[in-house]
C-alpha cells in the first residue's frame, strides 16, 4: 500500500494536467468572446421547446413603415411604438397566465389597471405597461423573454408575477419516463446546470448538438407512447426542491441581466386557490381506492369539532393519512377546520395539500417563500401578491371568492394587485410622483364591478361596450373568441351599412383581439380597428365612443398629443369623470 504522501502526489500529477487544460480552454474561449447558452439548463415542456421571439416584427399603420410593435405571446397584448421618446417609460410584466390575465381582456388584467393608475402619478410621462404574461410559461421561458426585451425593447422596469408553472417540466417528463429513469433524468439535469458555469462544457455541448444529437433533456415523444398512470412518477421531494432551485436560478438571472442594463425589477409572490380540491392519484389506471373508513373518520372529526374538541380530529386525521397519504386527505381536514373557524389548523392542512397536489399549475409554498427570500437577499422591491389577494378573505385563506379557479385572480383581485404594484413603484422604484390614492382607485373599481353584479364576468364589463346578444360570455379563450367575433361583427357592420354603432363594435373587437396572426391577412389587427372607428365617426361625427376609441389606440402607439386631443373631443360630447378631463387637459397643455 502506498504511503499517503505518494498517493497525494500521484493524484496531484494525474489531475493537474487536466485542470491546466480546462483552464487554458476557459481562457481561450473567454478571450474569443464565446458565451454559449448557459440559461437553457433544463429541458422545456414540449409545447414550449421552440420558443418564438417575444415580439412581432415592426408593423405599419396608415401607410407609415415600422410604426409599432407588439408582443407575439399573449392573446391580447398592448402595442407600443418602435421609437421611444424621452417622455415614455416602458414597464414589462413577466409571468404566466395569471399575469397575462387569463380569462379577461387586457383592461381586466392588473397590467391594464396599473397603466390606468400610474397615469395621474406622472402626468408628464407616457407610461406604457406591456404585458408579456403567457399561458403556461414558467421561469425558464421568462428568462429568455427578459433577455430579448433587454436587447430590443428599451425597458425601464420589469414586474415579475411568476411561480405557478414551475412543475410543468415534471408533468411532461413523467408521461414517458418510468420512476427509476425519472430520478436519473433529474440528476442529469442538475449536473447540466452545475457544469454550465464552464465555457468548455458549453462549447462541447454546442458541438454535440450541432452534430444532430438531441438536446439534453429534450423529448420527442408523443402521447401515443405515454405511460399508464399507474407507472408514472409521483411528485417527490426531489422534484419539489428542483422546482425551487430552477426558479431561483432563472429569476436570479433576470435580476442580474436587468441590473447590468440599469433596469430595476419588482418581484411578487403569487396567489393560489387553497380551497381548490386537489386531484386524487392515480387519476386513471390501476391503483388502490381511498378507504371508505376515511369518510367515516371525517364525519367523526366533524362531530368532535361541533362539540368543541380539536384533539380528536387530529388523531383521526393521522389514522386517515396513514391509510391514504394524499393531498385530498389534508384538504378535507383543512376545509372542515375552516368551516369551524379553526384558521391556524385549516391553513396548516391546506398548505400541505398544495404541497402534495399533483397539479402542475399551482404555486408550491416553497416557491413563494423563495421569492420573499430572494427579494430580501438581493434588495429587490417586493409585492406580496399572495397576501394582497388573501386580504380580500375574512380569514386570510384564498378561495374561489378571490381566485376563480386554481390560480387565476378574478377581476377584483387584479385591481388590488395593480394597486400594490403602483404603490411599490412610486415609493421604492421611481421618484417624483404626484400623490395618488391607489387603494381608493382600486376600491372604486371593485365597487363598480360589484355594482354590475353578474355582468362583471362578461366581456362588455371591461370593454365598455354592449356587444351583440349571445356573444358576451366569459372569455376563457380570448384569442379565438375575439377572432370569431370580429369576423362576425365586421360582416354585420357591412350588412348594416350606415350603422355607426356596428362599425364601432367591430373596431373594438379588432383592437382588443389584436394578436400575432394580424399580419397574415383577414384577421383582427390595429389597422382594422382604426378603419372601423373612422368609419363609425364618418357615419356619425357626434359618435363619442368612436372618438374615444381612436384616442385610446393613438395613445397606445405613442401619438400622445394627437390621442389626447381626440380624448378631449370625446369628453366634450360625452363628459366622463372630472379627474379624467383634468388629467387630459393638463397633459395636452390646455389651461
Locate 104 and state its grid cell: 379577461
Q: What is the pLDDT of residues 246-298, one digit of tens each?
A: 899 999 999 999 999 999 999 999 999 999 999 877 655 455 678 889 999 99
Q: What is the pLDDT of residues 498-525, one digit of tens each?
A: 788 888 878 877 776 665 556 555 555 7
pLDDT of 80 higher than 90: no
Tell me whether the omega of the peptide bond preceding residue 282 falls within 30 degrees of 0, making it cis.
Answer: yes
> Which CATH code for domain 35-79+87-278+358-457?
3.40.50.1110
Say whether 266 sits in a helix, a strand or coil. strand
Q: For residue 382, what are the contacts with CB-CB under 8 A and spacing of at least 6? A: 266, 267, 268, 269, 371, 372, 375, 376, 424
pLDDT of 450 higher than 60: yes
pLDDT at 397: 97
pLDDT of 46 higher than 50: yes
Question: Do 240 and 364 contact (CB within 8 A), yes or no?
Answer: yes
pLDDT at 218: 55
Compute the distance between CA of residue 478 and CA of residue 76 in angstroms, rounded to an integer: 8
Question: Do 220 and 343 contact (CB within 8 A), yes or no?
Answer: no
Q: Look at the domain 470-588 and name its fold.
A: 1.25.40
pLDDT at 507: 82
pLDDT at 554: 87
Compute the distance between CA of residue 243 and CA of residue 285 in angstroms, rounded to an integer: 27
Residue 231's pLDDT band, with cuts at 50, 70 and 90, is confident
CATH class of segment(s) 292-355? mainly alpha
For the chain, give the mean pLDDT.
Answer: 81
Q: What is the pLDDT of residues 10-37, one digit of tens each?
A: 766 677 777 788 787 878 877 777 777 7
CB atoms within 10 A of CB 62: 9
Q: What is the pLDDT of residues 545-585, one digit of tens each?
A: 888 888 888 888 888 888 888 888 877 776 544 444 444 55
Residue 474's pLDDT band, with cuts at 50, 70 and 90, is very low
What dihedral do alpha carbons 525, 527, 532, 535 form, nearest 10°? 180
Task: Please identify which residue in the block is written with the cell numbers 380597428.
Answer: 529
Compute the distance between CA of residue 246 and CA of residue 138 in angstroms, rounded to an integer: 10
Strands 157-161, 59-61: pairing kind: unpaired
Average pLDDT over residues 324-328: 93
pLDDT at 282: 64
Compute the distance between CA of residue 211 and CA of residue 195 in angstroms, rounded to an integer: 20
Burial of residue 283, with CB atoms counted within 10 A of its CB: 0-12 exposed, 13-18 middle, 19 or more buried: exposed
Closest CA to 240 of 184, 170, 172: 170
Lowest mean pLDDT among 2-11, 54-63, 325-334: 2-11
pLDDT of 38 higher than 50: yes
pLDDT of 447 higher than 80: yes
Residue 134's pLDDT band, with cuts at 50, 70 and 90, is confident
> DSSP label at 465?
S
For the ranges 46-60, 412-426, 457-471, the one whose mean pLDDT is highest: 412-426
For the ranges 211-220, 277-286, 294-303, 457-466, the one whose mean pLDDT is highest: 294-303
Residue 68's pLDDT band, with cuts at 50, 70 and 90, is confident
pLDDT at 193: 78
Rg (CA), the chain: 27
pLDDT at 424: 98
pLDDT at 220: 58
Question: Do 354 and 271 contact (CB within 8 A), yes or no?
Answer: no
Compute the distance between CA of residue 305 and CA of residue 47 in angstroms, rounded to an integer: 47
Q: What is the pLDDT of residues 154-188, one digit of tens each?
A: 999 999 999 999 998 888 778 888 888 888 878 87
Residue spans per domain, the chain:
35-79+87-278+358-457, 292-355, 470-588
pLDDT at 429: 97
> DSSP label at 525?
-
Segment (H or E) for 560? helix 560-573
Lowest mean pLDDT among 50-59, 268-277, 300-309, 371-380: 50-59
Asked whether this chain's domains 35-79+87-278+358-457 and 292-355 adopt the same fold, the reply is no
Lowest mean pLDDT among 49-58, 60-69, 402-411, 471-480: 471-480
Percent of the chain with pLDDT over 90: 40
Percent of the chain with pLDDT over 70: 78
Tell me whether the omega of the peptide bond preceding residue 567 falls within 30 degrees of 0, making it cis.
Answer: no
CB atoms within 10 A of CB 92: 27
pLDDT at 589: 42
More confident position, 501 or 149: 149
Question: Do 418 and 93 contact (CB within 8 A), yes or no?
Answer: no
Closest CA to 90 of 102, 98, 81, 99: 81
Compute the distance between CA of residue 550 and CA of residue 532 in angstroms, rounded to an integer: 10
pLDDT of 587 higher than 80: no
The vertex-108 CA angle with 481 and 574, nearest 5°, equals 100
Average pLDDT over residues 229-244: 88
pLDDT at 303: 96
> DSSP label at 403?
B
Say whether 284 sits in a helix, a strand or coil. coil
Average pLDDT over residues 129-142: 89
Residue 434's pLDDT band, with cuts at 50, 70 and 90, is very high
Compute the distance between CA of residue 66 and CA of residue 79 in angstroms, rounded to an integer: 12
Q: For residue 238, what are the contacts with CB-CB under 8 A and spacing of at least 6? A: 183, 186
Question: Do 391 and 265 contact (CB within 8 A), yes or no?
Answer: no
Amino acid at each position: 500500500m502506498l504511503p499517503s504522501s505518494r498517493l497525494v502526489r500521484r493524484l496531484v500529477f494525474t489531475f493537474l494536467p487536466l485542470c491546466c487544460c480546462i483552464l487554458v480552454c476557459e481562457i481561450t474561449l473567454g478571450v474569443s468572446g464565446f458565451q454559449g447558452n448557459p440559461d437553457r439548463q433544463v429541458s422545456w415542456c414540449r409545447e414550449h421547446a421552440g420558443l418564438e421571439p417575444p415580439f412581432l416584427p415592426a408593423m405599419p399603420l396608415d401607410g407609415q413603415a415600422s410604426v409599432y410593435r407588439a408582443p407575439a405571446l399573449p392573446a391580447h397584448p398592448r402595442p407600443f411604438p418602435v421609437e421611444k421618446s424621452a417622455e415614455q417609460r416602458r414597464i414589462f410584466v413577466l409571468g404566466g397566465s395569471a399575469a397575462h390575465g387569463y380569462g379577461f381582456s387586457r383592461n381586466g388584467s392588473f397590467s391594464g389597471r396599473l397603466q390606468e393608475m400610474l397615469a395621474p402619478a406622472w402626468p408628464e410621462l407616457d407610461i406604457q405597461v406591456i404585458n408579456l404574461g403567457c399561458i403556461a410559461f414558467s421561469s425558464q421561458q421568462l428568462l429568455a423573454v427578459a433577455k430579448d426585451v433587454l436587447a430590443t425593447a428599451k425597458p425601464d422596469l420589469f414586474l415579475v408575477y411568476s411561480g405557478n408553472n414551475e412543475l410543468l417540466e415534471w408533468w411532461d417528463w413523467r408521461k414517458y419516463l418510468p420512476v427509476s429513469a425519472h430520478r436519473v433524468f433529474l440528476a442529469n439535469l442538475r449536473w447540466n446546470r452545475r457544469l454550465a458555469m464552464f465555457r468548455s462544457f458549453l462549447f462541447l455541448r454546442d458541438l454535440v448538438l450541432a452534430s444532430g444529437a438531441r438536446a439534453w433533456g429534450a423529448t420527442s415523444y408523443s402521447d401515443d407512447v405515454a405511460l399508464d398512470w399507474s407507472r408514472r412518477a409521483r411528485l417527490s421531494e426531489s422534484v419539489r426542491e428542483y422546482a425551487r432551485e430552477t426558479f431561483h436560478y432563472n429569476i436570479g438571472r433576470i435580476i442580474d441581466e436587468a441590473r447590468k442594463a440599469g433596469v430595476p425589477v419588482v418581484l411578487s409572490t403569487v396567489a393560489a386557490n387553497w380551497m381548490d380540491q386537489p386531484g386524487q392519484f392515480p387519476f386513471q389506471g390501476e391503483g388502490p381506492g381511498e378507504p371508505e373508513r376515511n369518510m367515516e373518520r371525517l364525519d367523526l372529526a366533524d362531530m368532535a369539532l361541533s362539540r368543541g374538541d380539536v384533539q380528536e380530529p387530529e388523531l383521526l386525521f393521522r389514522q386517515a393519512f396513514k391509510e391514504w397519504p394524499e393531498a385530498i386527505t389534508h384538504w378535507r381536514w383543512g376545509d372542515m377546520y375552516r368551516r369551524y373557524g379553526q384558521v391556524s389548523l385549516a391553513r396548516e392542512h391546506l398548505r400541505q395539500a398544495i404541497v402534495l397536489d399533483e397539479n402542475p399549475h399551482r404555486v408550491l409554498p416553497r416557491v413563494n417563500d423563495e421569492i420573499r427570500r430572494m427579494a430580501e437577499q438581493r434588495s429587490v422591491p417586493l409585492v406580496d401578491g399572495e397576501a394582497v389577494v388573501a386580504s380580500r378573505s375574512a380569514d386570510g385563506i384564498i378561495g374561489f371568492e378571490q381566485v376563480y379557479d386554481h390560480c387565476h385572480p378574478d377581476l377584483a383581485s387584479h385591481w388590488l394587485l395593480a394597486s400594490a404594484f403602483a404603490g411599490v413603484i412610486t415609493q421604492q422604484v421611481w421618484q417624483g410622483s404626484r400623490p395618488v390614492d391607489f387603494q381608493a382607485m382600486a376600491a372604486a373599481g371593485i365597487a363598480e364591478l360589484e355594482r354590475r353584479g353578474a355582468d362583471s364576468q362578461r366581456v362588455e364589463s371591461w370593454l365598455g361596450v354592449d356587444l351583440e346578444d349571445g356573444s358576451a360570455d366569459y372569455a376563457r379563450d380570448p384569442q379565438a373568441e375575439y377572432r370569431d367575433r370580429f369576423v362576425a361583427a365586421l360582416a354585420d357592420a357591412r350588412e348594416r351599412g350606415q350603422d355607426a354603432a356596428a362599425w364601432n363594435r367591430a373596431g373594438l373587437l379588432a383592437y382588443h383581439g389584436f394578436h400575432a396572426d394580424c399580419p397574415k391577412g383577414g384577421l383582427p389587427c390595429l389597422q382594422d380597428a382604426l378603419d372601423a372607428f373612422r368609419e363609425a365617426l364618418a357615419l356619425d361625427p357626434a359618435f363619442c365612443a368612436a372618438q374615444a376609441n381612436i384616442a385610446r389606440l393613438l395613445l397606445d402607439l405613442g401619438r400622445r398629443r394627437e390621442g389626447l386631443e381626440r380624448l378631449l373631443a370625446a369628453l366634450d360630447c360625452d363628459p366622463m369623470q372630472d379627474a379624467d378631463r383634468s388629467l387630459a387637459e393638463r397633459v395636452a397643455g390646455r389651461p
